[in-house]
Amino acid sequence: MATAQTRTLSRIMMAPAVIVLLIWMIVPLVMTLWFSFQNYSLINPMMTGFAGWANYIYVLGDPSFTQSLVNTLILVGGVLAITVIGGTFLALLLDQPIWGQGILRIIVISPFFVMPPVAALIWKNGFMHPGYGVLAHLFEFFGLEPVDWFNQYPLFSVVIIVAWQWLPFATLILLTALQSLSEEQREAAEMDGANAINRFYHIILPHMARSITIVILIQTIFLLGIFAEIRVTTGGGPGYASTNIAFLVFRTGILSNDIGAGSAGGVVAVVIANIVAFFLMRAVGKNLDA
Amino acid sequence: MARNVSTGTKIGFTFAAWAIALLLFSPILWVLLTAFKTEAEAIANSPTFLPQNFTLENFSAVQDRSDYVKHATNSILVSVGSTLLGLAIGIPAAWAMAFAPTKRTKDVLMWMLSTKMMPAVGVLIPIYLIFRDLRLLDTVHGLTLIMTVINLPIIIWMLYTYFKEIPVDILEAARMDGAELYNEIVHVLVPMAVPGIASTLLLNVILAWNEAFWSITLTSGRAGTLTAFISSFSSPQGLFLAKLSAASLLAIAPILLMGWFSQKQLVRGLTFGAVK
Amino acid sequence: MGSISLQHVKKSFGEVQIIPDISLDIKDGEFVVFVGPSGCGKSTLLRLIAGLEDTTSGTILLDGQDMTKAPPARRGLAMVFQSYALYPHMTVRDNIAFPLKMAKAPKEVIDQKVEYAARTLNLSSYLDRRPRALSGGQRQRVAIGRAIVREPKAFLFDEPLSNLDAALRVNMRLEITELHQQLKTTMIYVTHDQVEAMTMADRIVVLNAGNVEQFGSPLDLYKKPANRFVAGFIGSPRMNFVDGPEAAKHNAHSIGVRPEHFKLSRDPLANAWKGKVGVAEQLGSDTFLHVHVEGLGLMTIRTDGDQTFSHGDDVYLMPDPTRIYRFDAAGIAL
Ligand SMILES: Nc1ncnc2c1ncn2[C@@H]1O[C@H](COP(=O)(O)OP(=O)(O)OP(=O)(O)O)[C@@H](O)[C@H]1O
Ligand SMILES: [Mg+2]
């Protein structure tokens, strides 16, 4: 549906975007792959040459890797569980006839716009600080011992912060999906004598299933790369207690200047992300035809 | 939405919803209130809710000690700059994909999306080294480039979904009226797509403003954005709660306002058009 | 000047051949209508002329100049779309002025031409409105205004009236015809409404599955259809076709009789076809009878509006022997 001339023009119009993204995708990735097979340390410039699988063996074999992988899974899984369940619940609540719906929507979405380092610092200093944090005051008020969150439960604390940031996102998407469920569909179900629980399981949940899938997939992409929250609060510690794969690569590559090992970790991160991306693309791609 | 419920039920739901919403909002509220307290009041053993001695000194202190204005300027330059650059590259590309689609258009779109899924740490090291060698580390233009590239897929996707809603007839009419491509895009397509372009712009400024990974790893003092600036307070040497809150408030307030305005379009942008 | 000549124009979308091979010569100043059933390729052909689509092969000449590869902007044609395709963000004035701005005309010339077009089309009082605030007929007029200010070599209309209600269509039909008489510019007009085709055209192109079935004046097509397709397509209600032994009597594979070419009687006539009235559509001026004829099937008969028939009446039909169309096995007129 166009002329050869428009097709030529359209190729020219797309060229900058395609070239930029192509370079962005290929060059650094190839370099990462290359470095991952090299002995390359900024601290020890004498160590050079082909390393074979040594970097991978070093990274994958180190207990810190296993722990980071587990931490990554806990982080992603924990945040997903909180945000999807909480988001569904909150979306259902906001969809009820209530006063001030519009304002509520704005209030609820707000945490999503707070930049990660600020979110982390608010929680770290304002809420979770064992001395003057709001939670410490609350615990004291109830006669409990204040908790030193980031030392005692570092990973859990990070999960809370990240969940706080992403709960609004899940809520907003699910609320949008919920509001597109037509009133007639609900009324029909009510006429058929379905009670609230049946309606939820047979009408509302199936309708939201696709949006929930999308929320899970998109969040997973972002959650795999959680970085600033860890950097600002625990620095990955104590030990490796709150280090995820992304932070491990940063620690190894940039902080310890071991380019080879850091790159190997990077490649592993790419592989993990690709597995998730594969499913996301299929979900979004299906929608393209519609 | 006109469901018949008793006033009692409505009061119940309203109460529950507001309670949860305020709970979620409380960290932001805390920042807002603490920013106007004195340091002593902020860490007092018996905490106060409203500032007892309302003060603005935290804001001037933040500026004096760590040059908030410089970092804010960097944030504006990077987020607005990268968004405008992204629109300049993205509008022609989205035009091509929406109005002259081929069999491969869908694949190209999916591929662009896939670049967004590449984890940043996977390419951190080479980018860091390239930036070091090209002397782009800790420069505003270097960071702007990175930000453009990482947001380009979202820009193109959003524009694409908005452009798809414009009837191709009108662009063809422009061609018949003697408009060359430049005029077709500048005088017909862009004015018609203003709402879509505006929400694309807004969302991307927000995303770039809040981006933390690359701004923390690629900048330090000179080109640091607000995310990098705030992160540097992870151990608040000499900077106390109230000042931290003031700095945080300054960093999030503009984006919060923009976010409130664009929240409706946000859903579509963040789900790549999958949820409208 | 605005002669348009198509030479062996072919068009395929991928594997699908939409236009197998068309050659046409449209003279300067002619009003040519493309008619044909939906999906036969009318719009495609128009878009090929406009330059909005490429020909797969063949040549398009405008004023004798080869324009096959020229982009739409350089062909000097104007097009009016079915959807009007007005620029929603511009006022009526700016819509009409747009082609002139693109041609970098001086401001005074633009103003003067826009005023003139607005006066011609009764749009003067709407010039500062947006298209959104106009009725369908007014929008259509703006689209036409935008087309005329360019003083194009030819106008291309793609079903411009199909979104309007019946009364407005009749009005606009007259306006466009008048415009043509005034401007004397070549016009190509696509429609599937044969009343529009018959009343507006100097010559009609009947298209079927991408082929030109016949190209001629409206009365030519009515009186001397080249084949069964044209015979069936032109004229309303449709021509009645009969094949088998009844056609063989006329030395033809099939014969056709228009509804208005019957002698109708309630009393038996010699050699007439006997039938029973099914539905009688009384329009006031005319009455259309749908008659079940024994052995021949359903026939449509036009008769004057004063006659009243009802369901089940016996009638006798006698085709006017001088107006029987004969077709061979391939449907070609004999
Ligand atoms: N861009 C395209 N790609 C593939 N096939 C197309 C394209 N445009 C049109 N066609 C096909 O070409 C044929 C002719 O289409 P066209 O629009 O020319 O018909 P038309 O005669 O204008 O019909 P109508 O009276 O319904 O407007 C149709 O079968 C249509 O499906
Ligand atoms: Mg058509």
ipTM for this prediction: 0.84
Residue B216 covered by a domain: yes
Give the list of residues 6+ apart from residue B176 with CB closer than 8 angstroms, or none. Answer: C50, C52, C72, C73, C77, C78, C79
Same domain? C261 vs C216: no
pLDDT exceeds cutoff 50 at C191: yes
d(CA C180, CA C174): 10
Which residue, B41, B58, B75, sits at the end of a domain?
A: B58
Would residue C50 count as lying in a domain?
yes
How far is the first Cα of chain A from the last one, in angstroms, to the nearest whole number? Answer: 19
User: d(Cα B127, Cα B112) in Å, to the nearest integer?
Assistant: 19
Which residue reads 């505006």 in tokens?
B198
**Are both C208 and C267 inside the same structural domain?**
no
Say yes or no: C220 and C264 in one domain. Answer: no
| Cβ-contact A70, A242 below 8 angstroms | no
**Within a domain: B244:** yes
B45 to chain A, minimum CA–CA distance in Å? 7
pLDDT tens, residue by residue, B201-259: 988 898 898 888 888 888 887 888 888 888 777 665 555 788 888 888 988 988 888 88
Instruction: Kindly state if the Cβ of C191 falls inside 6 Å of ligand 1.
Output: no
Mean pLDDT in residue range C253-266: 90
Any idea what the CATH number is for the domain that residue C299 is in? Answer: 2.40.50.140
Residue A17, pLDDT above cutoff 90: yes
Between the alpha carbon of residue A184 and those of residues A191, A197, A198, A209, the distances in Å are 10, 18, 16, 19
What percent of chain B is modeled with pLDDT above 90? 25
Per-domain residue ranges of chain A: 27-289
Q: Is B98 helix (H, G, I), strand (E, B) or coil?
A: helix
Is there a single domain that holds both residue B73 and residue B128?
A: yes
Q: Is the pLDDT of residue A230 over 50?
A: yes
**Residue B199 located in a structural domain:** yes
Assess contact for B121 and A225: CB atoms under 8 A: yes
pLDDT value at position C268?
86
Claim to verify: residue C226 and residue C270 sit in the same structural domain: no
Higher pLDDT, C56 or B265: C56
Helices B57-66 and B241-270: crossing angle in degrees, nearest 10, is: 80
Judgement on whether residues B213 and B184 belong to the same structural domain of the protein: yes
**Do residue B134 and residue B196 come from a single domain?**
yes
Asked if residue C274 and residue C188 are part of one domain, the reply reads no
Contact A98 B17 (CB under 8 A): yes
- Residue B195 sits in the same domain as residue B140: yes
Other Cβ atoms closer than 10 A to B90? 28
Residues of B with CB under 8 A from a CB of C: 167, 169-170, 172-180, 183, 187-188, 191-192, 194
Q: Which residues contact B204 (CB under 8 A, 6 or more apart)?
A: B79, B82, B83, B86, B151, B154, B155
Q: Looking at the structure, do residues C33 and C123 belong to the same domain, yes or no? A: yes
Provide φ and ψ at C117, rounded to 5°: -65, -40
Higher pLDDT, residue A18 or C305? A18
Tokens 């969809």 map to which residue?
A95
List the single residue in A with minimal CA-CA distance to C68. Answer: A3
C260 by DSSP, 3-state: which?
Answer: coil
Is B29 inside any structural domain?
yes
Q: What is the pLDDT of residues B212-223, one digit of tens each?
A: 888 888 888 788
Same-domain pairing of B68 and B54: no
Question: Per-residue pLDDT for C329 more than 80?
Answer: yes
In the predicted model, what is the mean pLDDT of chain C?
Answer: 90
Contact between C296 and C257 under an 8 Å Cβ cutoff? The reply is: no
Domain annotation covers residue C333: no
Quick one: C36 and C131 in the same domain? yes
- B86 falls within a domain: yes
- Confidence band of B2 (pLDDT split at 50, 70, 90): very low
Instruction: Domain of residue C93: give its range.
Output: 4-232
B115 and B18, same structural domain?
no
C70 touches chain A (CB under 8 A): no
DSSP state of B188: I
Specify whether B160 is located in the same domain as B180: yes
Q: Are residues B16 and B152 in the same domain?
A: no
CATH number of this structure's domain A27-289: 1.10.3720.10
Tell me if B194 is assigned to some domain.
Answer: yes
Dist. CA A36–CA A56, nearest whole Å: 7
Give the whole-angstrom CA distance, residue C47 versus residue C58: 14
Residue with tokens 């002593």: B40
| Ligand 1: nearest atom to the Cα of A1 | 1
The pLDDT-based confidence of A287 (bands split at 50, 70, 90) is: low
Task: Compute the distance between CA of residue A252 and CA of residue A224 in angstroms, rounded to an integer.
Answer: 17
Residues of B in contact with A32 (CB under 8 A): 122-123, 125-126
CB–CB of C77 and B172 under 8 A? Answer: no
Round the CA-based radius of gyration of chain B to a whole number and report it: 23
> C246 forms bridges with which residues in the sheet?
none
B97 and B231: one domain?
yes
Chains that touch C (3 or more CB pairs under 8 A): A, B
Question: Quick one: average pLDDT of C221-246?
Answer: 90
Structural domain includes residue C334: no
Q: What is the mean pLDDT of residues A221-227?
A: 84
In this structure, are B122 and B40 located in the same domain? no
Supply the Cα-derived Rg of chain A in whole angstroms.
24
Q: Which two tokens stand for residue C82?
A: 């079915």
Query: Which of the four pLDDT bands, split at 50, 70 and 90, describes residue C59?
Result: very high
Rounded percentage of chain A residues whose pLDDT exceeds 90: 15
Q: Are residues C8 and C79 in the same domain?
A: yes
- Residue B153's nearest CA partner among B276, B274, B275, B270 is B270
**β-sheet bridge partners, residue C157:** C80, C189
Residues B70 and B53 both lie in one domain: no
3-state SS track over chain A: CCCHHHHHHHHHHHHHHHHHHHHHHHHHHHHHHHHHCECCECCCCCCCCECCCHHHHHHHHCHHHHHHHHHHHHHHHHHHHHHHHHHHHHHHHHCCCCCCHHHHHHHHHHHHHCCHHHHHHHHHHHHCCCCCCHHHHHHHHCCCCCCCHHHHCHHHHHHHHHHHHHHHHHHHHHHHHHHCCCHHHHHHHHHCCCCHHHHHHHHHHHHHHHHHHHHHHHHHHHHHCCCHHHHHHCCCCCCCCCCCHHHHHHHHHHHCCEHHHHHHHHHHHHHHHHHHHHHHHHHHHHHHHC
Q: Supply the CATH number for residue B238's domain.
A: 1.10.3720.10
Q: Which residues are close to ligand 2, an ion, with C-beta < 5 A?
A: C 43
In a domain, C108, yes or no: yes
Number of residues that this document lists for chain C: 334
Structure tokens of A130? 């064992």
Please tell me the total count of domains within chain C: 2
Query: Of the residues C18, C45, C158, C159, which should be mutated to test ligand 1's pocket, given the most ligand atoms within 8 Å of the CB?
Result: C18
pLDDT band at A290 (very low <50, low <70, confident <90, very high): very low
Q: In total, how many domains does chain B have?
A: 2
Domain extent, residue B50, equals 7-58
Position C27 in a domain: yes
Asked whether residue C269 falls in the same domain as residue C228, the answer is no
The whole-number pLDDT of residue B5 equals 67
C40 C-beta closer than 6 A to ligand 1: yes
* Least confident residue range of A37-41, A187-191, C124-128: A187-191
C216 and C290 inside one domain: no
Mean pLDDT, residues C2-22: 91
Judgement on whether residues B30 and B161 belong to the same structural domain of the protein: no
Sheet holding C325-327, edge to edge: C240-243, C254-257, C325-327
pLDDT average, residue stretch B3-29 = 84
Using a 10 angstrom Cβ sphere, with 0-12 exposed, 13-18 middle and 19 or more buried, the burial of residue C73 is buried
**Residues C261 and C168 placed together within one structural domain of the fold:** no
End-to-end Cα, chain C, rounded Å: 38
Q: What confidence category does residue B1 fall into, taking pLDDT thresholds of 50, 70 and 90?
A: very low
- Ligand 1, atom nearest to C192 Cα: 25
In a domain, C315, yes or no: yes
